[in-house]
A and B are shown apart, each in its own frame.
Chain A
Amino acid sequence: MATKHHVVLPGEPIDPSLIPTHPKHPLRLGPGLRHIPPEDIVPTVAGQLITNPAKNSMWIEYNSNRYIPSQNDLVLAQILRSTSDFYLCSLSPHTAPATLPHLAFEAATKKTRPQLSPGQLVYARVSLANKHMDPELECVHPSTGKADGLGPITGPGCAFDVSLGFARRLLMARSREEGGVGVLEMLGGEEGGGLAFETAVGRNGRVWVGSESARTVVIVGRALQETDRLGLGLEGQRKLVKRLVREIK
Chain B
Amino acid sequence: MTASSAPEVAFGVLPRADGSARYSHAGYTVLASVNGPIEAQRRDEHAYEAHVDVIVRPAAGVGGTRERHLEAILQSSLSQLILIKNFPRCLIQIVLQVENSPENDYVNTKLVQASLNFALMPALIQTAILTLLSAGVPMRATATVTAIAISHDKTIIDPSPRDVETARSVHVLAFTSQDDLLLAESEGDFTVKEWDDVYETAKKICCRPAPDGAAMQLDDDESSAAVGPDLRQFLRSMMESKVAADLHWK
Give residues in A with beta carbon < 8 Å to B.
5, 7, 9-12, 32, 34, 44-48, 61-66, 68, 93-96, 131-132, 165, 169, 179-181, 231, 233
Given contacts A9-B142, A9-B177, A47-B243, contact A62 B35 (CB under 8 A): no
Inter-subunit contact A10/B19 (CB<8 Å):
no
Inter-subunit contact B138/A62 (CB<8 Å):
no
Inter-subunit contact A45/B88 (CB<8 Å):
no
Nearest-CB distance from B54 to chain A (Å)? 17
Distance of A12 Cα from B143 Cα, bound (Å)? 11
Inter-subunit contact B235/A9 (CB<8 Å):
yes
A65: nearest residue on chain B (CB-CB)?
B18
B87: nearest residue on chain A (CB-CB)?
A131
Inter-subunit contact B17/A65 (CB<8 Å):
yes
Annotate B215-248 by CB proximity to A: 1 below 8 A, 0 otherwise.
Answer: 0000000000000000000011001101111111
Annotate B103-142 by CB proximity to A: 1 below 8 A, 0 otherwise.
Answer: 0000000000000000000000000000001011111111
Which listed residue, A34, A64, A131, A169, touches B136 by the CB 8 Å rule?
Answer: A64
Inter-subunit contact B18/A66 (CB<8 Å):
yes
* Chain A residues within 8 Å of B248, by CB: 231, 233
What are 22 contact pairs spanning A and B, CB under 8 A? A10-B139, A11-B140, A11-B178, A34-B138, A44-B83, A44-B139, A46-B133, A48-B243, A61-B247, A61-B250, A62-B247, A63-B136, A64-B135, A65-B18, A66-B18, A66-B135, A94-B39, A95-B37, A131-B87, A131-B88, A169-B249, A233-B248
Nearest-CB distance from B46 to chain A (Å)? 12
Which listed residue, B17, B35, B136, B177, touches A12 by the CB 8 Å rule?
Answer: B177
Inter-subunit contact A66/B36 (CB<8 Å):
yes
Count of chain B residues with a beta carbon within 8 Å of a chain A beta carbon: 38
Total number of residue pairs linking A and B with CB closer than 8 Å? 102
Which listed residue, B137, B139, B176, B246, touches A63 by the CB 8 Å rule?
Answer: B246
Distance of A46 Cα from B137 Cα, bound (Å)? 9
Q: Does B22 contact A (CB under 8 A)?
A: no
Inter-subunit contact B249/A45 (CB<8 Å):
no
Given contacts A9-B133, A44-B138, contact A233 B86 (CB under 8 A): no
* Chain A residues within 8 Å of B1, by CB: none
Distance of A244 Cα from B44 Cα, bound (Å)? 47
* Chain B residues within 8 Å of A64, by CB: 18-19, 135-136
* Chain A residues within 8 Å of B89, by CB: 96, 132
* Chain B residues within 8 Å of A44, by CB: 83, 138-140
Which listed residue, B39, B176, B249, touches A11 by the CB 8 Å rule?
Answer: B176
* Chain A residues within 8 Å of B35, by CB: 66, 94
7 closest A-B pairs by beta carbon, nearest first, are A11-B141, A64-B136, A180-B249, A44-B138, A63-B246, A94-B38, A10-B139
Distance of A10 Cα from B132 Cα, bound (Å)? 11
Nearest-CB distance from B207 to chain A (Å)? 13
* Chain B residues within 8 Å of A131, by CB: 86-88
Distance of A62 Cα from B18 Cα, bound (Å)? 13
B238: nearest residue on chain A (CB-CB)?
A46
Distance of A179 Cα from B250 Cα, bound (Å)? 7
Within residues 22 to 72 of chain B, which ones have a CB less than 8 A from any CB in chain A? 35-39
Inter-subunit contact B133/A95 (CB<8 Å):
no
Inter-subunit contact A7/B87 (CB<8 Å):
no
Nearest-CB distance from A1 to chain B (Å)? 11
* Chain A residues within 8 Å of B37, by CB: 66, 68, 95
Nearest-CB distance from A185 to chain B (Å)? 15
Given contacts A7-B240, A94-B39, A131-B86, contact A62 B177 (CB under 8 A): no
B240: nearest residue on chain A (CB-CB)?
A7
Inter-subunit contact A179/B133 (CB<8 Å):
no
Distance of A5 Cα from B243 Cα, bound (Å)? 11
Given contacts A62-B136, A68-B37, A94-B38, contact A179 B18 (CB under 8 A): no
Nearest-CB distance from A94 to chain B (Å)? 4
Inter-subunit contact B239/A9 (CB<8 Å):
yes
Inter-subunit contact B38/A10 (CB<8 Å):
no
Inter-subunit contact A62/B246 (CB<8 Å):
yes
* Chain A residues within 8 Å of B19, by CB: 64-65
* Chain A residues within 8 Å of B135, by CB: 64-66
New A-B contacts (18) at CB < 8 Å, excluding given A44-B139, A61-B250: A7-B243, A10-B142, A10-B177, A11-B141, A44-B138, A45-B137, A47-B247, A62-B243, A63-B246, A64-B18, A64-B136, A65-B17, A66-B36, A66-B38, A94-B38, A131-B88, A181-B249, A233-B249
* Chain B residues within 8 Å of A233, by CB: 248-249
